[in-house]
Copies of this chain bind each other. A is one copy, B any other.
Amino acid sequence: MSPESEEMMWCHSCREEYDALDAGTCKECYEEASETEEELKREIEDLKSKVHFLRLSSPIESDLSPSDVSLHASSDRKGVYPPVPAHKIVLMSRSPVFRAMLGGEMEESRSGVIKIEDVSYNVLCSFVQYMYTADTLLNEQLACELLILAEKYQVKHLKFFCERFMTSRISNDNAVTNFAFAHRYNSKNLLESSLALILDNISTLTQREDYKDLVEKDPRLVVEIYEAYLSRQVNTAASVKELQNV
């Protein structure tokens, strides 16, 4: 082998030539990493098939077995929509609030009728669908409304599902509203993400109408924003000073 050919190498992954400066891993680690990736993919397949097995078909779509409880959207005062059928075993397994409500001596346990306040029929259907399938198609409005229900009935998995959707859609246009919303419904991830964006753009965002509304309606939250802003400034100044001293 000539010295030139020794200096150039072939990447086992992309099959292209590279030189020593662009080296990534040794062969042993490459092979280990490939095996790990295969294992992880197998684990994903296993888990997906488990999820598929564990999903129940939502009683809204198919009436597989007679339901023993029904949910009524109380915002539908005209009674235009039918009640949403469900099974106690499903609601009680997913939510400690339903467990207490349906397992005890409460009215709902006897009658099998649960009234859900301030919710529309469509949101209620999505809520019940999630309880059976761990999935539902979100948009921004639905994510907010389902998060409120998830917080109320302590369905942590659904709350996290909505939080993640909302966090991925934070922008200057909704950061202030989301911050107030996250505060109200105890949503830590959304709170942190929206606060970070507000602090990054504080001079722009404080000019907006939604910010002025917040000063009007809930000044305590605005104080929190400023406290976080000052604390960040102090930390930044301390880091700069530390760097200068080094």
User: A residues touching B (Cβ–Cβ < 8 Å)?
Assistant: 6-14, 16, 18-33, 36-37, 40-41, 43-44, 47-57, 59, 64-66, 68, 87-90, 92-94, 99, 102-103, 134, 157, 160
Nearest neighbor of A48 in chain B, beta-carbon distance: B47
Query: CA–CA, A105 to B207, complex, Å?
Result: 68
Q: Is the contact region of chain A dominated by helix, strand, or loop, or is it mixed? A: helix
Chain B residues, Cβ within 8 Å of A66: 88
User: Would A102 and B134 count as touching, CB distance under 8 A?
Assistant: no
Nearest neighbor of A45 in chain B, beta-carbon distance: B47
9 new A-B contacts at CB < 8 Å, known A6-B19, A23-B23, A43-B44:
A12-B25, A14-B25, A23-B27, A24-B30, A25-B30, A37-B37, A50-B157, A56-B90, A87-B87
Query: CA–CA, A25 to B9, complex, Å?
Result: 9
Q: A36-B37, A134-B54 are in contact. Are A64 and B43 (CB under 8 A)?
A: no
